[in-house]
Amino acid sequence: MAEEKLSGNVKTAYDEFYQKHDEAWRMLGAKYKAQHIVDVCKGQTFAKVLEVGAGDGSILKYLSDWNFAPEYHAVEISDSGVKHIKSRQIKGLSSVQEFDGYHLPFEDNSFDLLILSHVLEHVEHERLLLREIKRVSRNFVIEVPIDYKPGVDKRIKHFLAYGHINVYTPTSLRYLLQTEGFDVVKDLTSMIEPEVTSFNTYVNQKKPKGLVTSLKITAEYFAKNMAAKIGGTKWQEKLANAYTVLCNKTNKQADIF
């Protein structure tokens, strides 16, 4: 594997990000991300779980509280994120380590499941990270936001403000994973829940609460869901805000030059 590492300014940005911690907002988002993991893994059990890019540990906190697995490990690029994870006293958490973004300090096939939730969109060398996670685990849950829409190139500043340097559709994510030797076993699309939109509107954006606004948020959510159900897979993927896959690894990998 090439000796790639995070750019210095990227490391600094994420250290500062977790210093400006917003507990309520991050826990709300993590609740649904954790639920997606549980949903896509339904019917399967995993004993030893690693989250790569674990942030502040919000997702692991939910999974632990829900008894998803008996043993958890976490790696995170930012020192402030590692400190938050340790402070949570997550049941079953065996190790928390800072890492360089590409090299995992574990032996081959050390884990039953590896979680990579809302990480790939931030990664400069995404294929290198995928090859490394493939080395250390047998199964994987990967979730990305569906940022791609026509005209996405007109909103570069918006996405860069969140550190999103890669944009995906469900199709492009599957292509990326399959060409790196991952087999998609199960997937699901999801939309931003009204609870999240309401929090963002009233708390983050500080807009005045109102019955009309609340009804509009709920109505838009149910209208999109109805359109997705009627339209089938094509419209489910087109209208989705996030895409989650459960993968295992194969011995196949596309010959890239």
pLDDT given at position 2 = 46
Which residue ranges form the domains of the chain, and what is each CATH number?
A: 8-191+242-249 (3.40.50.150)
Q: Does the structure show a pLDDT above 90 at 197?
A: yes
pLDDT given at position 211 = 95
State the average pLDDT for the chain. 91
Comparing 7-11, 80-84, 92-96, 200-204, which segment has the lowest mean pLDDT?
Answer: 7-11
Q: Does the structure show a pLDDT above 70 at 19?
A: no
Give the amino acid at 84: H
Helix H, strand E, coil C: the string for the chain is CCCCCCCHHHHHHHHHHHHCCCHHHHHHHHHHHHHHHHHHCCCCCCCEEEEECCCCCHHHHHHHHCCCCCEEEEEECCHHHHHHHHHCCCCCEEEEEECCCCCCCCCCCCECEEEEECCHHHCCCHHHHHHHHHHHECEEEEEEECCCCCCHHHHHHHHHCCCCCCCCCHHHHHHHHHCCCEEEEEEEEECCCHHHHHHHHHHHCCCCCCHHHHHHHHHHHHHHHHHHHHHCHHHHHHHCCEEEEEEEECCCCCCCC
Contact 95, 32 (CB under 8 A): no
Q: Does the structure show a pLDDT above 80 at 156?
A: no
pLDDT band at 176 (very low <50, low <70, confident <90, very high): very high
pLDDT given at position 1 = 43
Contact 134, 104 (CB under 8 A): no
Contact 89, 115 (CB under 8 A): no
Contact 164, 148 (CB under 8 A): no
Distance CA 125, CA 145 (A): 18
Average pLDDT over residues 27-39: 97
pLDDT given at position 4 = 60
Q: Does the structure show a pLDDT above 70 at 152?
A: yes
pLDDT band at 253 (very low <50, low <70, confident <90, very high): low
Q: Does the structure show a pLDDT above 60 at 14?
A: no
Give just the sign of the alpha carbon dihedral 55, 61, 64, 68: negative
